[in-house]
Amino acid sequence: MIYYLFHSLLAGEHYAYENVLFRAVVAALFCFFLVLVCGPRVIRELAKKKIGDRPEFDNAALNALMSEKANVPTMGGILIVGAIVVAVLLFADVANFYVCMGLLSLVWLAVLGCVDDWFKLTAKHRIGTRTGLKTHEKLLFQIGLAVVLSIFTYQHGTHNYADLGPLFDEPRVPPYKVLSVPFYKYGIELGTYSFLILTVLVMTFTSNAVNLTDGMDGLASGCVVLCSLVFMLLAYVAGDAEVAAKLLVPHIPRAGELAILCGAMMGSCLGFLWHNCHPARVFMGDTGSLPLGGVIGFVAIVTRQELMLFIVGGIFVIEAASVILQVGYFKLTGGKRLFRVAPIHHHFHMGGWSETQTVVRFWLVAAVFAGLALVTMKLR
């Protein structure tokens, strides 16, 4: 809205507002203050409706450690998602294809997470027990979204592309047929079905990995802030032909608008962290973690940085891998455990680290991963 207002009033002139990074920073600041101001009211409403957390684990010691979190309002992801939507509508070019698809991802997964949270926290669902959606039900909607996005994004990208410059000399290929590889200046060419499968894997993995990380006060929101910052810069680079050529990354025309979406995510999570830091007054729940992870995955796909995502979101990868390894080891050994409990942040918590120590140390590791990811842009 504001984007078009400035565009019409200042037609033919070049002003700072035309700059993608400027608008991304403005969106971040806007979201931070919006969540900061609206947070107390939303928290009161959630508490009034008795939408409180009920942490339950297959470990009595961990249940005792987490007992203080009982009845803390969850579904705080409504705050995050709402602020992001408002900021994108105000500061981004909403006619941009990638912005529209990003908003679709955000809203789709937010609704999915909201339904899951609502069933878990308020409804006596499934034979009188309190439980959310089944894993296969959530995966069905996540995969469905990923398939839709992959088809439309691939078609759009292959019909509206610029030269890849140094990535490929002959033949020139569309960006969506190239997988960018960290530390390596030449991409790997993909087929149509490879792109579809890759999109499904990246979006479902990232969405669920952020969800698994959301288990301690401020842990997920702090890590998403760092991840969003890096992808805000990567979106800007991918959308600028000159900068993309210098850094030897695929140039994706008009993908720079996704920097506003990433900036809005960063600001919203920073504002949410104000209310979510220890001791948390609200949790984001699946309502927040599923869409945040999904949108990060979508931005990685558009910018052709799917492999870079495994570096930027290193903490999310470690958290998801710990669960996969724990379950696999448990089944292979007939009941033995690789970690005290998974996801791995609880393993360290039960090992003697306080919750604050665990969260801050994980933030530090996430910052190292973010820095490493930015360094790889020059090490090609």
* pLDDT tens for each residue of the chain, 380 residues long: 666 555 555 554 554 556 899 999 999 999 999 999 999 999 999 888 777 666 666 666 776 766 677 778 888 999 999 999 999 999 999 999 999 999 999 999 999 999 998 888 776 544 444 567 888 889 999 999 999 999 998 888 776 654 444 444 434 556 777 788 887 777 777 888 888 999 999 999 999 999 999 989 999 999 999 999 999 999 999 998 888 888 888 888 889 999 999 999 999 999 999 999 988 899 999 999 999 999 999 999 999 999 999 999 999 999 999 999 999 988 898 888 898 888 999 899 888 899 999 999 999 999 999 999 988 887 76
Q: For residue 128, what pLDDT is reported?
A: 46
Q: How far is CA 87 from the centre of its chain?
A: 17
- Quick one: which of 218, 178, 207 has its CA closest to 194? 178
User: Residue 374 — φ and ψ, nearest 5°?
Assistant: -65, -35
Number of other residues whose CB lies within 10 A of the CB of residue 136 = 7
Question: Does an H or E element contain 46, and which?
Answer: helix 20-48
Is the omega angle on the peptide bond into residue 291 within 30 degrees of 0, that is, cis? no
- Quick one: which of 58, 52, 14 has its CA closest to 346? 58
Measure the CA–CA gap between 99 and 309, rounded to whole angstroms. 19
Q: Which long-range contacts (CB under 8 A, 24 or more apart) does 115-120 make?
A: 116/286, 116/290, 117/51, 117/74, 117/75, 117/285, 117/286, 117/287, 118/51, 118/75, 120/54
Compute the radius of gyration of the chain from its Cα atoms: 21
Helices (H) and strands (E) in the chain, counts: 15, 2
Bridge partners of 181, per DSSP, are: 184
Q: For residue 166, what pLDDT is reported?
A: 45
Measure the CA–CA gap between 337 and 339, rounded to whole angstroms. 6
**Tokens (6 digits) for 152:** 């439309």
Q: For residue 69, what pLDDT is reported?
A: 74
- Quick one: which of 330, 303, 291, 312 has its CA closest to 142? 291
Residue whose pair of structure tokens reads 């979201």 in the numeric block: 31
**Tokens (6 digits) for 68:** 């203080």
Q: For residue 173, what pLDDT is reported?
A: 58
Q: For residue 274, what pLDDT is reported?
A: 95
Q: Return the half-sphere exposure (C-beta side, CA atoms, 13 A cut-off) of residue 145.
A: 29
Q: For residue 30, what pLDDT is reported?
A: 97
Q: For residue 164, what pLDDT is reported?
A: 44
Q: What angle do CA 352, 272, 81 make, to 5 degrees?
A: 125
